[in-house]
Structure 1
Amino acid sequence: MRHVFFFFITILFCTQLTAQKADEFANLKRYATDNESLLSSGKKVDVVFIGNSITEAWVKHDAAFFSSNNYVGRGISGQTSSQMLLRFQQDVVALKPKVVVINAGTNDIALNAGNYDQHFTFNNIKSMAAIAKSNGIIVILTSVLPAGSFPWRPEVKNASAQVDELNGLVKKYAIEKGFSYIDYNLLMRNEKGGMKTVLADDGIHPNKEGYKIMEEVALKAISKNLKKK
């Protein structure tokens, strides 16, 4: 009996430790207070944008775009698709938006969480879309933005080609499932597949002009989808 007791204690400890690591990995604390405040206020949001630093900085660059349209941003700098998937229930589903805009993949390709496997990343994006759809949330998928290289990860080669391959998978999936697909990449890329220099100071993160382009196409896609509700 003593062995059985210690076995279950060990399992419980390992489970708690795994949960703790998952919590830290996904950074669930980042928006926990904001989510709680939003839910307690009784306010309903129309759209949640989930993503990485590109989404997080978007809110900082143009907070009025989000507040005036009843959108909220749930981007976390440096995050990969697996981290977004772990926090999708808390940062998207729990808020009960009408629409979710999913932007993921940049940091996967940049090796932020280890070796890159496009099918693993693609499956994470599909999983987020499936979770949203099962909860009655309209899905809008977006392209990974253009990237000729990653300043913080110079060892990544053929970045633009890898971005294009992932975008091809996501676009095809969106068409098959009847989801809207926002092609930021097509509008913002240069002749080599990287970001136009006038749209991003570091080649990755949009500046004010870059976000203006994103806002225009996002508004059109969202407005079209909100009419379905």
Structure 2
Amino acid sequence: MKQVYWLRVLVICLGILLIVASAAAYIAFSFARVFYSSENGVRLEPLGLSSYPTSPIRTSPDIKRVVFFGDSRAESWPPSVQVSGWEFVNRGIAGQTTAQILGRFAAHVTPLQPDVVVLQLGINDLRTIPIFPESRAVIIANCIANIQAMIRQSKDLKAVVILSTIFPVTAPTLERRIFFWSDDIARAVAEVNKALRSLAADRVILLDADSILLDANGLPRPEYMEDTLHLSPAGYEALNLRLSQILSDLPSS
């Protein structure tokens, strides 16, 4: 009887191991497939210039234009509905680094002749640090330099820049932790944000996302986070309250 019992235990354990191994293999395959597709898509069109049409026509000379520019966090940023007299155009592309975003500024922002450019970008640079830890300092320096370049180009268009700090990250899922995730990403975000806060100047207004999205303990508010990297609708709603205040305070001319 004992032999039968232990045989059953062994079979159950082997079954559990098989299920776990199958799940891990499926997750690995899914990530590999997504990565492979994404990598080859970038090779075909590194900057994603075909993602957007030519500039929309301004509906009225009395309407001012805001352009959201950046990565998926900018792409997901809905228009602020609390203020009138503004139109909102989105030019975010998911997965892009600051180098890619800078590379398409002339195609995706300049033709729009915006009055305001809202910048939210940088996380995709910093996500590469666990893959290339020896290049950490260079990755951070390039991220900051690319953002500074976009600020200069925006100001050359006579636009006001609303510079958002990089949104915080929350606890990663198991899949992300397995595939090149590290707590150093959050530390790098804090480091870049410190540099971004120093860039506030004439026609460069800082939107400090941490002051909105973090709780008293410095942790992301759960109700504001959709997943490890992305905000929930409530998170964007909270940001838009601040954005609306900034837009309302801008001079009319």
Distance in 2 (CA, whole Å) between partners of 1:130 and 1:187 is 26
1:72 corresponding residue in structure 2: 89
1:56 corresponding residue in structure 2: 75
Letter aligned with residue 215 of structure 1 = N
Change (3 A) 1:155 1:204: closer
Change (3 A) 1:122 1:150: farther
The reply on whether 1:141 has 2:173 as its aligned counterpart is: no
In structure 1, runs of 5+ residues without a counterpart are 1-20
Letter aligned with residue 141 of structure 1 = L
1:223 corresponding residue in structure 2: 248
- The within-5 A match list for 1:80-229 is 80-111=97-128, 115=132, 116=136, 117-151=139-173, 152=176, 154-175=180-201, 179-190=204-215, 193-225=218-250, 227=251, 229=253
Distance in 1 (CA, whole Å) between partners of 2:219 and 2:229 is 9
Distance in 2 (CA, whole Å) between partners of 1:224 and 1:40 is 22
Q: Deviations over 1:184-227 (max 9, x none)?
A: 122112466442211113132111111111111111122223x1
Change (3 A) 1:24 1:192: farther
Distance in 1 (CA, whole Å) between partners of 2:95 and 2:158 is 29
Distance in 2 (CA, whole Å) between partners of 1:189 and 1:28 is 34
Change (3 A) 1:68 1:194: farther
Count of residues in Structure 1 that have an aligned counterpart in Structure 2: 201
Q: In the alignment, is the contact (CA less than 8 A) between 1:199 and 1:206 conserved in 2?
A: yes
Q: What TM-score do the two structures reach when normalised by structure 2?
A: 0.69
1:126 shift after superposition: 0.3
Letter aligned with residue 58 of structure 1 = W
Q: In the alignment, is the contact (CA less than 8 A) between 1:160 and 1:194 conserved in 2?
A: no
Q: In the alignment, is the contact (CA less than 8 A) between 2:74 and 2:121 conserved in 1?
A: no
State which structure, 1 or 2, has the greater radius of gyration over its C-alpha atoms: 2
1:118 shift after superposition: 1.0
Change (3 A) 1:148 1:161: farther
Letter aligned with residue 79 of structure 1 = Q
Identity of aligned residues (%): 25
The reply on whether 1:24 has 2:45 as its aligned counterpart is: yes
Distance in 1 (CA, whole Å) between partners of 2:65 and 2:92 is 16
1:24 shift after superposition: 1.3
Q: In the alignment, is the contact (CA less than 8 A) between 2:127 and 2:181 conserved in 1?
A: no
Q: In the alignment, is the contact (CA less than 8 A) between 1:148 and 1:158 conserved in 2?
A: no
Change (3 A) 1:171 1:228: farther
Change (3 A) 1:87 1:158: same
1:69 shift after superposition: 3.6
Letter aligned with residue 73 of structure 2 = I
Distance in 1 (CA, whole Å) between partners of 2:189 and 2:118 is 18
Letter aligned with residue 48 of structure 2 = N
Q: Deviations over 1:108-154 (max 9, x none)?
A: 11129x74511100000000010111121111111001114555454
